[in-house]
Structure 1
Amino acid sequence: SYLTTIYGEKGNPDYSKQTNFQVLWNHSQDSKANPNMSLSASVNFTSSGYSRNDLNSYYSPSFTENTKSSTVNMTYRFPNSKWSLSTTANIAQRTSDSTLTVSFPNLTASMSQIYPFKRKRAVGKERWYEKIKLSYSGQFQNSLTAKQDVFFQKSLVKDWRNGARHSVPISATFSVFKYLNLTPSLQINDRMYTNKVRRQWDPNASAEVCDTTYGFYNVWDFQGSLSLDTKIYGFFQPMKFLGDKVKMIRHVLTPTISFSGNPDFGSPFFGYYGKYHYMNSQGEMVERQYSMFPNAVFGVPGTGRSGSVSLSLANNLEMKVKSDADSTGEKKISLIENFTVSQSYNFAADSMNWSNINTSLMLRLVKNFNLNLNATWDVYTYQLSPTGTPVRVNVPRWKVGKGLGRLSSTGTSFSYTFNNNTFKRGKDKDKNKDKNRRRRGSDDDDFDDDYDEEGDNFAGNNDRRRRRGSDDDSVDMGADGYMDWSVPWNLTFNYSVNYGYGTFNKKKMEYDGRITQNLSFSGNIQPTKNWNFGFSASYNFDTHKLAYMNCNISRDLHCFTMTASFVPVGPYKSYNFHISVKSSMLSDLKYDKRSSYSNGITWY
C-alpha cells in the first residue's frame, strides 16, 4: 500500500507533502512440499506516518498499536543427520518515535542430542560413559536500533551490533540406590565479538576516556552442576461416609536438590573486565570495574564466584472417581496439576545469600482452560539510605519476625471465547453445526435429505433454493416448514491481572502492593446469512472508562457489499460508510462517506 498525504495549498507556508507505505506479507509453507526445508513469513511493516494518515486505520485495532513486528524464517534440516540450519530476519517498529530495530542476518546451527561414546554393537550391560550425552547450538546475530530517517546512514562496523555464540551442554543420568537419579552436567559457552572497549580516567579533563579496538575476541565461560531427584507417591482412600464415588486420591512429590558453581569471570585472569581509579567529589580515590564488551549481543559472563545449592519441591494431586457414563469405568480428575516451590542459597556470596522464593501453580479448571500462576516472595527487609531511598539489606525477614517471605510479584492472564456451542450438550452442538453448514450453503449435504418420509419435497425446495443463491429466501427453513432460527455468535474476553511492588511505605518500611489489570473483549454476531455485526473494545481500569471501541456492520447485497465502521467513544470518535460492487472489474464503482479525523478532538 502506497500513500501520499498533502496538507495545505502548494506555495503556502503550511504546505507539506508526506509519502508513506505499508508492506503486509503472510506465508506458510505446506510441510508436504519439502520435508527438509520450510519457509514462513509474517511481515507487517509500515513507515512512521502511515497509520496516522491512513483514514481506514481509524476503524481497525492497528490504529492503537504502538509497536509492529515482522519476521521471516527459513529452516533446513539435513537429511539423515542431527544437524539443522535456520536463518531469520526480524524488524521491530516503535511508531511513537519512529524507531527501528533490525536484526539481520540471524543464523542458527544446531545439533540434536547425541551419545558420542555409545557402542554401535553393544554387548553386555551399558557402560557408565555410554550415558554421556551432548548437543550443540550456534548463533550469529547482527542488529541495529536507530531512527527511521537516519537508519541507512549508520556504519556497518561501528554502529551495528554483531557477534556469535556457541553452546555445548554435556550431561548424564545415573541411577543411585535404585530410587535416586543423579545427573551431573557441564555447560560450556563461547562468545565471539569484533570490538573491545578499554576505559581510563583522565584527571585533567575529569572525565572517562574510551578506546575502542576492532578485532576478533573470544569470551567464554562454563558452569558445572550436580542434581539429585526422586519421586514419592502417596495414596489416600477417602472414608466410606463420604460416598463410594471417589475411589482414590494420589499425591506425587518430586523433590530435587542441586549443586552448581562457577569461578569469578571478573578476575584479571580472564580479561573480560577492567579497572581504573578516579577521584570522586569528596576527594576520595574510588576504584571502578567495567566490562570490556559493553552492549554485547550475547552479553558477558557475570562477576563473582558462585557456589549454590537449590531446593525445589513439585507436587501433583489427582483423584480417581467413578465415571458417570459407565458404571464400571473410572476416570482421573486433576486437582492440582503442578505446584512447585523452589529456593537457593549461594555459599560464595558475601551477603544476600538466600534467593527469593519462587512458586508456580497450574490448575485444570475446565476443558481447554488452565490457570497458571507464578509468584515471587521477597525474603529480605528494607531500610532507608542516607538519601532517603529504600535499600534492600542483608537481614532476612524471619530474623525480625516478619515471616518467611512477602509476596513481591505475581500475575496471570487468560482468555475465553463463548459461542453458540458453549452452553449446549454434545448432540445439540452437532445439530447446530449442521445448521451453520446449511446456512453457508455447504454442498456436503445429501441431496436425498431434501425429501421427507412421504416422498414430498416441500422441505427440499427451500434447501435447493438456498444452494442456488435465490434472492427470494433470506432465512433457513426447517423440515417442518418453520423458520430455523440459528444465529452464529461469539464473544471473546482477554483479561490479565498482575500484582507487584508500588510505592514505598516509610512507616511500615515495606513496599505497598499495586494491582494492574487489563481487559479487552471482542464479539461477532450474524443474525442472518447476509448481515454481520462485530466489535472490539478495551477497558481502562485506572479511568474506569472504555479506552477504545470499534464497531463494524456489513451487509451482503448480492452484487454489492456494504460496510459501516464507527468509533463511538474516545478522541477518535468518527464513522466510515462504504458501498461498492463486488466485481474487481468495477472496483471504481463505489461510494464512501466518512467523518473527519479531527471531529472527535476537543480544541482548546
Structure 2
Amino acid sequence: MRRISFTVLLLCAFFFMLANADYQSRKRHKRVSSDSVAVDKAMKRDSLGREIIDTTTMDSLQLAIYRHNKTIDDSIHLDSLNRQKKNGIDAPVNFSANDSMVYDARNKTAFLYGSSNVKYENMDLKSERIHLNMDSSLVHATGVSDTASKGLKGTPVFSMGSDNYESDTMSFNFKTKKGLIQNVATQQEEGFLQSKLSKRNDKGEIFLQHGRYTTCDEPHPDFYIALSRAKVRPGKDVVFGPAYLVVADVPLPLAIPYGFFPFTKSYSSGFIMPTYGDESTRGFYLRDGGYYFAMSDKWDLKLLGEIYTRGSWGLSAATNYHKRYRYSGTFYAAYQDTKTGDKGLPDFTRQQSFKIQWSHRQDQKANPFSSLAASVNFASSSYERNNMGSLYNPQTLTQSTHTSSVSWSTNFSSIGLSLSSTANLNQNMRDSSIALTLPDLNINISRFYPFKRAHAAGTERWYEKISVSYTGQISNSINTKEDRLFRSNLIKDWRNGMQHRIPVSGSFTLFNYINVTPSFNFTDRMYTNKVTRSWDKVAKKEVADTTYGFHNIYNWDFSLGASTKLYGMFIPNRKLFGDKIQAIRHVITPSVSFSYAPDFGTSRYGYYATYQRTNTDGTVDLVEYSPYANSLYGVPGRGKMGSFNFSFDNNIEMKIKSDKDTTGIRKISIIDNLGFNMSYNMAAKEKPWSDLSMNLRLKWWKNYTFNMNAVFASYAYELDANGKPYVGNHTYWGMGKWGRFQGMSQNVSFTLTPEKLKKIFGGSSDEDEPKGKRNDPEAEGVDTNVESNVDDDMIEGQRSVRKKKATGKAETDDDGYMMFSMPWSLTVGYGITMRENTDVRKFNYRTMRYPYMFTQTLNFSGNLRISDGWNISFSSGYDFENHAISMTTASLQRDLHCFNMSCQVVLAPYTSYNFSFRCNASTLTDALKYDKRSGYSNAVQWY
C-alpha cells in the first residue's frame, strides 16, 4: 500500500508539473505575442523610407525582447557569412600521388606520398611529399632525404602562370596566394635568383633574405652578387639593399649600398652607362653614355655622348624603325669636335668631323611593283682617324673607300616598262675626293618581238625571231673634294647627259648544227655643253671655251656570230687498259664572230676637231681633240672596225667504274676547260692581230679549282732609229716562232686540319661519313658564326669537345686512355703573277726579249683550340717586295662559362692592343666588365 501510494503521489506530481509548464508557456507566448505587437506598433519609417524602432513607446521587457531577437538574427547572418568565406574556394582542387594517399575526412586533410601533384586554377605544385588542408586551403610541400647524394630529392617545384620556383620546403595558401619558401631558386630571363628564406605575397612579389643573383646556369655558380635583402617583381625588376660580388666563392671588396636589375621583354627607356679610359692625346674620357628612348614598338632612339678632359667631345644619335610588312631600317648620325695639344701652342689642332649611315629596306609584301632601298655610309675623312671605335678596328683604318647608294625602282609589267633611279656616292678617305651621281635614272623596255604574229599558225618564220629592246639613262655627276661639294655650280661643275641604247638581235639555226646570232646596236648621246679648244699665240697656251646648248652624237655597230659543238668519243683498248675506263669524251666548242663599225672620227660626224699649236722652236703641230671627251658618256671611238674573233674551247672527261658500287659509273674531269681566244681586225692598217689568250681550268681536287690565265704576244720586238725596242709589225709565226709568252697569274689557297691530315695518311675522318649521320653543329648548340679562317672541320672539332663536356666524362680510346683532341686549322694562300719587266735597261738585245719578273703574295691564318674554352687565332702574311711581314693580328679568347676574356694584338703599321673581360649575359654586360685598349697613337712599341 505504501508502495502504491508513493507511486500515485509521484505521478500526480509529474502531471502537475506538466500542467504548470503548459500554463507558463501559454502565458509567456501570450506576453511575447503582445510584446511583438507592441514592437510592430513602435516600428516607423524615416524620411528615406527606412524602418526604425521607436523605443520610447516600449517598456523595459519589450525593449529587452527586441534586443535579444536582433542579436540572434545578426549572429545567424554573421555565421552564414563566415561559413561561406571559410569554404570560399572558387575552383576544384585536383591532387594525385604515385605512391600513396591518406585522407582524413574529419579534419579534411590529405597526405600525399611519392611524386605528388596538386593543381588549383593556374597553380601547379609538384613534390615528393605534400600535406594539404582543405579547410584552411594551406598546402605544405617538402622533399625527402637522399642517402646517395646526402641531400634532398623530390623537392617542391611550384609554378603559377609564367613564374616557376624550386625550393627545399614550401608552404602556400591557395586562397590568399601567399607563401613561405625556404632555399628558393627561380629564373628571371637570363638571371637566376636564390635565397635561404623567401616570402611571397598575393601580388606575386617575392621578398628575399640572404639571396644571391647570378647569370651562371651551373648548380654551383662561378660568380654571384650576394644580396642581404631584395624584392623581386617577376618580369619587372629586382630591387636590393647592400650587396657585394662573390667570384669562385671568394667575396670581393666590391660592394654597393643599393641597386636594381630590370627584367622586361618590352622596350623601355633608360640611361646608358658610359665607359671610361685614358687616351694619350685627348686625356681621360667618358664615352658611349647617354639615354635610350623607347618611343614605341615601331621605332626607338639612342643618344650617346663622349667627353675628354682636354676639350674634345662628340654626340651621336641612332634609331631603328620597323613597320611590319612595309619597311625597316636604321639611321645613325655622329658629330665630333676633336682637339689635340694645348690651346695657344703651335701643336694645337682642332678638327670637326661627322658621319652619316642609313640603311633602308622595303618589304616585298608592301608593293610588288615598286621598291626603295638605301645603303648610305658617308663620313668626313678625319672622322675614322678620330673615332675611338675605329682605332681598335684595323679593317676600318685600312678601308680607303666608302660607298653609298639609294635606289628606287618601279615596273609596269603589262607593257614591259621599268623605271629605276639611284644616287651613288664613292668617297676616297685618303685624299678626301668624292664621286657623286645624283640622280641616275634608267628606263628599260624588256625584249619584245615586233614581227611575231599574235595568232601563230604553222612553223615559226625566221623574222619572228628578231627581238628589240630599249635602255635609256639620264645622269648628273661630279668629281670633287668633300670641302668643295656644297660650293659647286650645278651647270659648270656638274656633268650631265642622256644616253639611249637600242639593240636588235636574233637567233637562228643553220643546217641544224650551227647557231647563228646577228645583232645590231644603236647608241645615242645627248649633252648640254661642249668644250672648244684653241691655241692662244700671245699667251702661248691652250685655251678652252665651253658653250651650252643641245648636242647630239650617236654611233652604231653590227655583229654576226656562229658557234657549234663537236663531240668525240674514245674507248681505250680493253687488253691494254682493262675495263675500268669506260670511255673518254672530248668536246670542242669553236666559235667565230664578225663585228663592224664605221669610223666616227671623220669630219662629217663632227665628233673630233683640230687646232694648230706653235711650239717653242717655231714648229707647228696639228692637235686633235674631241669637244665631248670629258662628257658623261664619252664619245664614239675613232677608226674603222671590221674584226673577226676566234675562240676554241675544249673539255675532256673520263667515265670509269666506281670502286664502291660495282654497277655505278663515275665521271672524272681531266680538263674542265682549255680555251684560246684571238681576234683579227681587217680594218686596222697596223698590227691587225691581237694577242693570244689562254685559259686552263682543272678540277682534280675536291672543293678546289685550278685556274691559270696566260697571254702570248703576236708581234715581236724591233729597234727604232735610236736603238730602243718597240713592238713592231712582224708576227712571230711569220718568223716561224710561237707567240711571245707575256705572263700568267695564279692563286692557290689550302686549308689544313687534323681531319684532312688523317685522311691524307690513310685514316678515316668525319668527311667519309654520310651527311645524314654527321652531327649537326647547330643542333649541338655550337656557334657556327666564327671567323672566316675557321672552316667546317674546326667547327666539328669544337662540337666534339662540347659533346664531351655535356656527358661529363672524357672520351677514351680502345686501350682506355683519354683521347687527345686539340682542334686546329691553318689556311695558306699564295698568289703569283709573272709578267715582263719592261725596263729598257734590262732589255736583252741578243734574244730581243725583256726578262720576266714575279709578283708574289703570301697570306696565312689559323685557329687553335688548346683546350675547352681556350681559343687562339691569328692572321698574317709576307710582303715579298719589302721583304717584311705584313700586318699581323693575333687574338686569344677564353670562355669562362659565364664570363668571356679576350685579348687582341695588332702589329705594324697600326700597332695596338685590346683586352676585354666581361660577363656574357646581356643583363650584366655593361655592369660587370673591364676593358683596356690602346690606339695606334699611344700603343706599345714592339721591338
Q: Is TM > 0.5 for Structure 1 vs Structure 2?
A: yes
Report if aligned partners of 1:476, 1:484 keep a CA contact under 8 Å in 2: no
In 2, the alpha carbon distance for the partners of 1:396 and 1:79 equals 54
In 1, the alpha carbon distance for the partners of 2:349 and 2:824 equals 46
1:518 aligns with 2:857: yes
In 2, the alpha carbon distance for the partners of 1:205 and 1:296 equals 27
Which structure 2 residues correspond to residues 250-269 of structure 1 after superposition, within 5 A? Answer: 250-269=585-604
**Equivalent residue, structure 2, for 1:447:** none
TM-superposed deviation, 1:351: 0.9
Q: What is the letter of the counterpart of residue 273 of structure 1?
A: Y
**Equivalent residue, structure 2, for 1:7:** 340
**Equivalent residue, structure 2, for 1:184:** 518
Greater displacement, 23-32 / 530-539: 23-32
Greater displacement, 46-55 / 415-424: 415-424
Report if aligned partners of 1:59, 1:550 keep a CA contact under 8 Å in 2: no
Report if aligned partners of 2:376, 2:405 keep a CA contact under 8 Å in 1: yes
Report if aligned partners of 2:392, 2:914 keep a CA contact under 8 Å in 1: no
TM-superposed deviation, 1:248: 1.1
Q: 2:472 aligns with which of 123, 138, 141?
A: 138
In 1, the alpha carbon distance for the partners of 2:693 and 2:520 equals 24
Q: 1:570 aligns with which of 908, 911, 925?
A: 908
In 1, the alpha carbon distance for the partners of 2:715 and 2:935 equals 57
Report if aligned partners of 2:565, 2:588 keep a CA contact under 8 Å in 1: yes
Q: 1:476 aligns with which of 799, 806, 809?
A: 806
In 1, the alpha carbon distance for the partners of 2:870 and 2:357 equals 28
Q: What is the letter of the counterpart of residue 86 of structure 1?
A: S
**Equivalent residue, structure 1, for 2:567:** 233
In 2, the alpha carbon distance for the partners of 1:395 and 1:79 equals 56
TM-superposed deviation, 1:291: 1.0
In 2, the alpha carbon distance for the partners of 1:74 and 1:32 equals 16
1:370 aligns with 2:719: no
TM-superposed deviation, 1:565: 1.5
Report if aligned partners of 2:530, 2:628 keep a CA contact under 8 Å in 1: yes
**Equivalent residue, structure 2, for 1:244:** 579
User: Unaligned 5+ residue runs, structure 1?
Assistant: 443-462, 467-472
**Equivalent residue, structure 2, for 1:437:** 779
**Equivalent residue, structure 2, for 1:552:** 891
1:63 aligns with 2:397: yes
Aligned residues: 573
**Equivalent residue, structure 2, for 1:506:** 843
Report if aligned partners of 2:392, 2:933 keep a CA contact under 8 Å in 1: no
**Equivalent residue, structure 1, for 2:353:** 20
Q: Secondary structure at the match of 2:684?
A: coil
Report if aligned partners of 1:310, 1:343 keep a CA contact under 8 Å in 2: yes
Q: Are the structure 2 counterparts of residues 138 and 537 from structure 1 closer, same or farther at C-alpha, using a change threshold of 3 Å? A: farther
Identity %: 43
Report if aligned partners of 2:403, 2:427 keep a CA contact under 8 Å in 1: yes
In 2, the alpha carbon distance for the partners of 1:441 and 1:602 equals 35
1:320 aligns with 2:655: yes
**Equivalent residue, structure 2, for 1:579:** 917
TM-superposed deviation, 1:491: 4.6
**Equivalent residue, structure 2, for 1:174:** 508
Q: Are the structure 2 counterparts of residues 429 and 507 from structure 1 closer, same or farther at C-alpha, using a change threshold of 3 Å? A: same
TM-superposed deviation, 1:223: 0.6
1:276 aligns with 2:636: no
TM-superposed deviation, 1:123: 0.9
Q: Are the structure 2 counterparts of residues 226 and 474 from structure 1 closer, same or farther at C-alpha, using a change threshold of 3 Å? A: closer
Which structure has more relative contact order (CA 8 Å, sep 6+)? It is 1
TM-score normalised according to structure 1 size:
0.84
Greater displacement, 229-238 / 380-389: 380-389
TM-score normalised according to structure 2 size:
0.56
In 2, the alpha carbon distance for the partners of 1:68 and 1:414 equals 29
Q: Are the structure 2 counterparts of residues 230 and 429 from structure 1 closer, same or farther at C-alpha, using a change threshold of 3 Å? A: closer
User: Unaligned 5+ residue runs, structure 2?
Assistant: 1-315, 317-333, 760-764, 785-798, 813-817
TM-superposed deviation, 1:102: 2.2
Q: Which has the larger radius of gyration?
A: 2
TM-superposed deviation, 1:548: 0.2
TM-superposed deviation, 1:557: 4.7
Q: 1:262-311 CA deviation, whole Å, 9 max, x = no partner?
A: 11101111111111222334533322211111222322111111112222
Report if aligned partners of 2:830, 2:858 keep a CA contact under 8 Å in 1: yes
In 1, the alpha carbon distance for the partners of 2:424 and 2:724 equals 40
TM-superposed deviation, 1:141: 2.9
Q: What is the letter of the counterpart of residue 420 of structure 2?
A: S
Greater displacement, 534-543 / 385-394: 385-394
In 1, the alpha carbon distance for the partners of 2:891 and 2:464 equals 64
Q: 1:127-182 CA deviation, whole Å, 9 max, x = no partner?
A: 11101122222223332222222222222222222323222221212222332222
Cα RMSD between the aligned structures? 3.4
In 1, the alpha carbon distance for the partners of 2:655 and 2:377 equals 49
Which structure 2 residues correspond to residues 202-217 of structure 1 after superposition, within 5 A? Answer: 202-217=536-551
TM-superposed deviation, 1:334: 2.2
Q: Are the structure 2 counterparts of residues 434 and 242 from structure 1 closer, same or farther at C-alpha, using a change threshold of 3 Å? A: same
Q: Are the structure 2 counterparts of residues 245 and 341 from structure 1 closer, same or farther at C-alpha, using a change threshold of 3 Å? A: same
Greater displacement, 387-396 / 182-191: 387-396
Q: Are the structure 2 counterparts of residues 216 and 413 from structure 1 closer, same or farther at C-alpha, using a change threshold of 3 Å? A: farther
TM-superposed deviation, 1:405: 1.4
In 2, the alpha carbon distance for the partners of 1:184 and 1:432 equals 53
In 1, the alpha carbon distance for the partners of 2:349 and 2:657 equals 75
**Equivalent residue, structure 1, for 2:879:** 540
Q: What is the letter of the counterpart of residue 893 of structure 2?
A: S
Q: Are the structure 2 counterparts of residues 83 and 248 from structure 1 closer, same or farther at C-alpha, using a change threshold of 3 Å? A: farther
Greater displacement, 258-267 / 88-97: 88-97
Q: 1:532-583 CA deviation, whole Å, 9 max, x = no partner?
A: 433332321223332101122334556654332212x324333122234554
**Equivalent residue, structure 1, for 2:323:** none
Q: Secondary structure at the match of 2:806?
A: coil
Q: What is the letter of the counterpart of residue 711 of structure 2?
A: T
Which structure 2 residues correspond to residues 370-449 of structure 1 after superposition, within 5 A? Answer: 370-385=705-720, 390-401=725-736, 403-413=737-747, 415=749, 424=765, 425-427=767-769, 433-434=775-776, 437-440=779-782
Q: Are the structure 2 counterparts of residues 601 and 478 from structure 1 closer, same or farther at C-alpha, using a change threshold of 3 Å? A: closer
Q: Secondary structure at the match of 1:227?
A: strand
Q: Are the structure 2 counterparts of residues 478 and 244 from structure 1 closer, same or farther at C-alpha, using a change threshold of 3 Å? A: farther
Q: Are the structure 2 counterparts of residues 416 and 145 from structure 1 closer, same or farther at C-alpha, using a change threshold of 3 Å? A: farther
Which structure 2 residues correspond to residues 586-601 of structure 1 after superposition, within 5 A? Answer: 587=926, 590-595=929-934, 597-598=936-937
Report if aligned partners of 1:571, 1:600 keep a CA contact under 8 Å in 2: no
1:497 aligns with 2:497: no
TM-superposed deviation, 1:29: 6.0
**Equivalent residue, structure 1, for 2:130:** none
In 2, the alpha carbon distance for the partners of 1:350 and 1:562 equals 71
**Equivalent residue, structure 2, for 1:300:** 635
Q: Secondary structure at the match of 1:507?
A: coil
